[in-house]
Amino acid sequence: MKTLEKSKLTGNKTIQISGSKSISNRLLILESLFKNIKIGNLSNSQDTQLLKKALSEDTEIVDIHHAGTAMRFLTSYYSIMEGKTTILTGSKRMKERPIKNLVTALQNLGVEIEYLENEGFPPLKITGRKITQTTVDVPSNISSQFITSLLLIAGKLENGLEINLVGEVTSRSYIEMTLDILTKFGIKNSFTGNTIKVEPFTHNHSSIIDYEVESDWSSASYFYSFAALGRETIYLKSFYKESTQGDSAIAKIYEDFFGIKTIFTEEEHKLSLIPQPNFQFPEKIVLDMNNCPDIAQTLCVTAAALKIPFEISGLGTLRVKETDRLQALYNELKKLGTETEITDLTIQSVSFNEPKKNISIKTYQDHRMAMSFAPFCLIKELNIEDEDVVEKSYPDFWKDLDSLLET
């Protein structure tokens, strides 16, 4: 358990955040498939290291523990390893996270995949096949990672791939991030309406492409929360103004609702998070976060700490993350004195009361629960249970946080 004493934020400190987990994991799959990529500033997250380990080992049983991205990306990756049989498994929670839409899409493309325990869930037995079919339909309202998983192998298929998205597209920015990466490597693609087309990759593999991974905007979000509550400037490296990460939306969101202005210094790839003096907080925050659901927890905690009413929609994917994040938020915000109502897609505040005397935040094996609630220590002392859960995405979080706080 991590005890965070009631603290003050020290201003003008610089935090170097590791490379984006989302970008790093995409690049590792492409590197393994095409062998012509040199990756710089790779994420040091546990998820990325688990994926890297899986790709480097030639074993029949692959256990990716809690790494949901690895589970999804490797499902497609092993599907095109002709003649190879792989059993892909994970933790107890991973076996509760649905993967049926992706498996069905791959089966429709001709891949042989079996469920070894429960229908629609890992573990999977995958027998690699040569995919020659060119079109597939995929429901697009569950997880953009299912779609990205298919996109990452599409350039390796001799006929390419056309993906028809069925329904409203969730987390569209993550799909566009994947396509942007493919474009940078010369894999031609298009995204028109609800149809994505990827052409087969035909370039010379001997030409090495250097890719420096931008730092992780999801990880940056927690420092926006600290800046909003502590009203001191924080500097973050290494970020780009024209980011493809959907969670870069945090910059505009926190400027609009919390008065945190973001200044980009191009030559240093640095963000300056600057609280605006005399900022008038809104009477209510109403926001659709369909394109950036991973930063919803951070926003809710910031609003709760400032007692700003909020109504957040577009959160359909949060039910099937590391935990049921909407239920987890409902439970833990109550300890901060914030009563909420939740549906399958939304969370909204109902009332603000005094926080509990001894706050102990349960993390539900979810890294984002630990980090999104941490800024509340600027309001009141609290404990974070199972603090090591942050290793999944941001192993240095507590160390970096200690450099910013004084009690």
Q: Output the pLDDT for position 204.
A: 61
Distance CA 303, CA 282 (A): 10
24-42 per-position pLDDT tens digit: 999 999 999 998 888 999 9
Q: Show the domains of the chain with their CATH numbers.
A: 2-19+214-406 (3.65.10.10), 21-212 (3.65.10.10)
With CA atoms as reference, report the closest residue to 152 among 125, 188, 179.
179
51-66 per-position pLDDT tens digit: 999 999 889 999 999 8
Residue 46 host element (H or E):
helix 46-56
Q: Output the pLDDT for position 56.
A: 93
Q: Helical H runs in 158-263?
A: 172-184, 217-230, 250-258
- Ranges of the chain with pLDDT below 50: none
307-330 per-position pLDDT tens digit: 999 999 999 877 766 678 999 999
The string of DSSP letters for 336-402 reads: GTEEEEE-SS-EEEEEE-PPPSSEEE--TT-HHHHHHHGGGGGTS-EEESSGGGGGGT-TTHHHHHH
Residue 287 host element (H or E):
strand 285-288
Q: Output the pLDDT for position 208.
A: 80
121-131 per-position pLDDT tens digit: 999 999 999 99
Q: Output the pLDDT for position 304.
A: 98
Q: Output the pLDDT for position 402.
A: 95
Burial class (CB in 10 A: 0-12, 13-18, 19+), 407: exposed
How are beta strands 234-237 and 270-275 bridged, if at all?
antiparallel
- Whole-prediction pTM value? 0.80
Q: Which residues are catalytic?
A: 294
Q: Output the pLDDT for position 206.
A: 63
Q: Output the pLDDT for position 63.
A: 95
Q: What is the 3-state secondary structure (H, E, C) of 79-147?
A: HCCCCCEEEEECCCCHHHCCCHHHHHHHHHCCCEEEECCCCCCCCEEEECCCCCCCEEEEECCCCHHHH
